[in-house]
Structure 1
Amino acid sequence: MSMTTPEHDARIAKMTFASVYPHYVTKVEKKGRTKEELFQVIEWLTGFDENRLQSLIDDKVTFQQFFDQATLNPNAKLIKGVICGYRVEEITTPLTQQVRYLDKLVDELARGKKMESILRK
Structure 2
Amino acid sequence: MANDRVFAMKFAKVYPLYVQKAERKNRTKEEVDRIICWLTGYSQAELQQQIDQESDLKTFFARAPALHPNRSLIKGVVCGVRVEDVADPLMQKIRYLDKLIDELAKGKAMEKILRQ
TM class by smaller structure: over 0.9
Pairing of 1:25-64 with structure 2 (within 5 A): 25-64=19-58
Question: How far 1:103 sits from its partner (Å)?
Answer: 0.4
Whichever residue aligns with residue 117 of structure 1, its letter is K
TM-score normalised to structure 1 length: 0.92
Aligned equivalent of 1:3: none
**Gapped runs of 5+ residues in structure 2?**
none
Q: 1:78 aligns with which of 59, 73, 78?
A: 73
1:9 maps to 3
Q: Structure 1 residue 30: deviation in Å?
A: 0.8
Q: Give the corresponding residue for 1:118.
A: 113
Matched, 1:108 2:103: yes
Give the CA deviation at 1:116: 0.7
CA distance in 1, matches of 2:9, 2:91: 11
Counting aligned pairs with the same residue, the percent is 54
The 2-side partners of 1:8 and 1:110 are apart by 26
* 1:12 CA displacement: 1.6
Q: Match of 2:75, SS?
A: coil
Instruction: Measure, in 1, the Cα distance between the counterparts of 2:105 and 2:9.
Output: 22
Work out whether residues 9 and 93 of structure 1, in 8 Å CA contact, stay in contact via their aligned partners in 2: no
Say how many residue pairs are matched. 115
Report SS of the residue matched to 1:72. coil
Rounded Cα–Cα distance in structure 2 between residues aligned with 1:11 and 1:89: 21
Structure 1 gap segments, 5+ residues each = 1-6
Query: For 1:91-102, what aligned pairs fall within 5 Å after superposition?
Result: 91-102=86-97
| Structure 1 runs (4+) greater than 4 angstroms displaced | none
